[in-house]
Amino acid sequence: MQPDLQTALNQKHDVERVLSRVQAAGASVQLSDAELQVLLSPSADAWLEPMARLAADITRQRFGRIMQLYAPLYLSNTCMSTCTYCGFSFENKTPRRTLHSTEIQTEAEYLHKEGIRHILLLTGESYRDTPLAYLRKAIADLKERFSAVSIEVYPLKTDEYRELRAAGLDGLTIYQETYDPERYAQVHLRGMKKRMQYRLECPDRAGIAGVRKLVIGALAGLSDPAADVYVLARHARYLLHQYWQSRVSVSLPRLRPAEGLQDPSIPGIPDRDYVRYLCALRLYLPDAGIYLSTRESSRMRDHMARICITDMSAGSKTDPGGYALEGSTEQFSIDDTRSVAELGADLRRQDLDVILNDWAALLV
């Protein structure tokens, strides 16, 4: 038998064996790291439909038919780091803006009227323009009207997360971008974001501080996507075991066009590969939430909502003041432009229960 054919047969049997294990164990399955690698390999592409069915079954078993909606609120696009893929990068000649308290309330009021009760506050990497005191005040003010307030900002120290937790912080979102040290160094050229290890340890510091929701992710397409998904999944499993009091979720946004993108030759990730990566995450992490943002098309989001997604952003604007004020330059372009009401209606037509309040936060 030719070696290539034998290899193909072995890979076929590996995929079948892993999926048979998932079928037998359901949501209680605990795949090994080697089995995760099998599902991330190109040989698993032929089994995409069975993977998707199993992922959907596990999602329904673990999370029911709930879809939690949230909205990003960009506080600032000022950034002291140079990242070759981001519209906020320090080198970009874009107008910079940091919202003051009244402007934050105006943006928040718009989202509140839209029905949003869980907001994600975002800034660039600027300790100077958005210091801890600025974040603390924004969280405390917004917590009066929103059931959950999360942040996606520069990495903080453990005591700083504790301080924000006392002000009302519910969740942390932090993207490692890529887990490949060599590639990380190539795309992060200036500023605090160059400190890969410090960023990597950020969810640990938040977990130690008692932050209730931890969301980690990689930017799919920045490096070898299968390799990044593999390490992302292992990172999430570690956090699930280490910080069992927190809800751990993962996110895998695909690289999108942005002002100043210095490597436009970066290949896109085909839809089939992307779906397979998300399904593999669900089979390996049955207890983790999976986020899907408006970077993806409405068609892709509607499709994945039936399979493995638990949280979605809605009606997103990616620039400070983008909702009710005159916005500035967006961080990246979005694809799904539906309003909160339109997205909610489309999801309900799929027999999903759309949740705007974070009830768990209200019970803490």
CA distance 105 to 231: 38
Structural tokens at position 184: 């990380």
**Which top CATH class is 30-363?**
alpha beta
Query: At residue 141, what are phi and psi to the nearest 5 degrees?
Result: -65, -45
Pick from 207, 253, 262, 264: nearest CA to 228: 253
- Read off the pLDDT of residues 71-126 as tens digits, 9 standing for 90 and up: 999 999 999 888 988 878 777 778 899 999 999 999 999 999 999 999 999 999 99
Helix (H) / strand (E) element for 286: namely none
- Read off the pLDDT of residues 219-244 as tens digits, 9 standing for 90 and up: 999 999 999 999 999 999 999 999 99
| Section 250-264 average pLDDT | 73
Cβ atoms of 258 and 87 closer than 8 Å: yes
